[in-house]
């Protein structure tokens, strides 16, 4: 499988990080699955597996502690740009996130960052609306009992 360049772009803090060094587990036109280690050392999480749903606009990750124990699911709302000539994906974090704990507790995070970024002209109105619509779609998936999506259920990918 040919390995693309994958860039993670964030607005807060403003940065673009090349995460192409992550292990590529699967790739097609609608899904990229990677296994990775944290960029900056942390005590609570050490590594994970991410499922980037390119057409749906969210990335669902399983986070693990340093001992390899599952800690939680973390869902980023993203915008995806793909440059086929350079075989490069830019995954832009649209700020709002969802964390799902092992006990089923659901936490919607950073909605205030969307408002702040909109007020400060860091993101456009269109990006804010896109973020909230994708959040709504993801929450519908979660509340319907269909989480994790079937693409995330193959435990072979969960091995860290």
Q: What is the pLDDT of residues 103-134, one digit of tens each?
A: 999 999 999 999 999 999 999 999 999 999 99
Q: What is the pLDDT of residues 49-76, one digit of tens each?
A: 999 999 999 999 999 999 999 999 999 9
Q: How far is CA 157 from the centre of its chain?
A: 16
pLDDT score, position 137: 97
Q: How many domains does the chain have?
A: 1
Query: Cα dihedral sign for 137, 142, 144, 145?
Result: positive
Q: Tokens representing 129?
A: 């609306």
What backbone phi and psi angles, to 5 degrees, belong to 26? -160, 150
Which CATH number fits the domain that encloses residue 153? 2.40.380.10
> Which residue range forms the structural domain that includes residue 99?
5-158
């Amino acid at each position: 499988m040919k390995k693309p360049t994958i860039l993670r772009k964030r607005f807060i803090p403003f940065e673009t990080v090349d995460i192409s060094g992550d292990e590529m587990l699967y790739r097609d036109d609608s899904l990229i699955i990677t296994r990775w280690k944290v960029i900056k050392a942390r005590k609570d999480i050490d590594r994970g597996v991410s499922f980037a749903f390119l057409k749906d606009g969210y990335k669902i990750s399983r986070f693990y502690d340093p001992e390899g124990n599952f800690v939680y699911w973390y869902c980023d709302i993203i915008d995806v740009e793909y440059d086929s000539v350079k075989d490069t994906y830019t995954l832009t974090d649209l700020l709002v996130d969802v964390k799902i704990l092992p006990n089923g507790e659901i936490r919607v995070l950073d909605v205030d960052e969307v408002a702040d970024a909109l007020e400060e002209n860091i993101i456009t109105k269109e990006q804010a609306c896109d973020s909230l619509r994708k959040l709504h779609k993801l929450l519908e998936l979660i509340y319907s009992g269909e989480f994790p999506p079937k693409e995330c259920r193959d435990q072979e990918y969960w091995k860290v």
